[in-house]
Structures are given as structure tokens and as C-alpha cells.
Amino acid sequence: MNAENQEIMHQIISQNQRLLQNLNTQRHCTCEVRQLISEITGEKIAENTEIRLPFYSDYGRNIKLGERVFINANVMMVDLGGITIEDDVLIGPGAYLISVNHQLAPHQRKELDLKPVLIKKNAWIGAKATILPGVTVGENAVVAAGAVVTKDVPANTVVAGMPAKIIKKID
């Protein structure tokens, strides 16, 4: 990343942190919450989407939210690599969606590895679940509370555990 792009990224992160501090420390009506999150993401948030506070992100501009999304309190989105949440998704309290990792080699550890996260239509991410970089959670899938998802989750399945494994198919 060149110096100019790094400067732009740092400006966006700085603005995001100011907006998040305002969002999470002041009293806001539902429409104000949507407005502040729209400023954070750079996109209009649908009126039928609900986000409970506090809400956290590191970058903000790479979060895409569909219609009728419900995000419970204390959710963290590390979105520099991109996070897309399709329509009718439920995200439980304290969930982490992470699209950024660091290189394993010690001499490259500060270099970022960006891989988008995709949560497909009508999926449900349980409380305190962690979705790691590059993961797609399939349509109608359920990620159990506390699961750590390291691989794609097929549609119409339930995954649980650390690392998450399929425990059930949904009819």
C-alpha cells in the first residue's frame, strides 16, 4: 500500500473511531443510531435493520448490511478485508466477524492478510461466536454460541465447537 492510500486509510479509521465513541457513549434514538452507522459504513442503513449498542468496528467502510438485519450488543466487526451481511441475518451479542489476519512469518508479522467475510441470507450467528477471515456462512445456516468458524459453513447446517464442525442439517 502506498503512502497516499495509507494516509487515506488512517483518516477513515480516525473518523470511524470518533463516530463509534459518539455512538457508544451518548444516548441516541434508533434513527440516530442508523444515521451514525451509515456515516461509519458510508452506506445508508435500512430502516428495518436494528443494531444494538455498543457496536464496534476497526475501519467501518467495508461493512455492507442487507435488509432486516439484527445485530445485538457488543458485536465487533474487523472489516478492513470486507464484511457483507445479507438480508434477514441475526447476529448474537458479543460476536466477532474478522476479515483481517497477520502473516505467520515473524519478519512479515505486521503485514496484513485481508480476506472477506460473507454471511448469507437468513443465517444466524450465535452469541460470542467468532467468524475468521475468508469464511462464508451459507444461507439459513446457524453458528452456535461460542463457535470459532475457520472454514465455510454450508447452507442449511448448524455448526458448533472450536473449531466449528457441522453438528446438524436443517430441513
Determine the pLDDT at residue 1: 63
The pair phi, psi for residue 7, each rounded to 5°, is -65, -45
Determine the pLDDT at residue 154: 98
Determine the pLDDT at residue 82: 97
Measure the CA–CA gap between 75 and 77, rounded to whole angstroms.
7
Q: Do 155 and 140 touch, CB atoms closer than 8 A?
A: yes
- Whether pTM > 0.75 for this model: the answer is yes
Measure the CA–CA gap between 151 and 23, rounded to whole angstroms.
32
Determine the pLDDT at residue 135: 98
- Each residue's pLDDT tens digit, 125-138: 999 999 999 999 99
Q: Which entry of 10, 28, 102, 107 is annotated as an active-site residue?
A: 102
Q: Which residues of the chain have pLDDT under 50?
A: none
- The answer regarding whether domain 3-169 maps to CATH 2.130.10.10 reads no
| Helix axes 30-41 and 3-25, enclosed angle (nearest 10) | 170
Burial annotation 99-121 (CB, 10 A radius, 16+ → b, else e): bbbeeeeeeeeeeeeeebbbbbb
102 is a catalytic site residue: yes
Residues 42/47/50/53 CA torsion (nearest 10 deg): 60
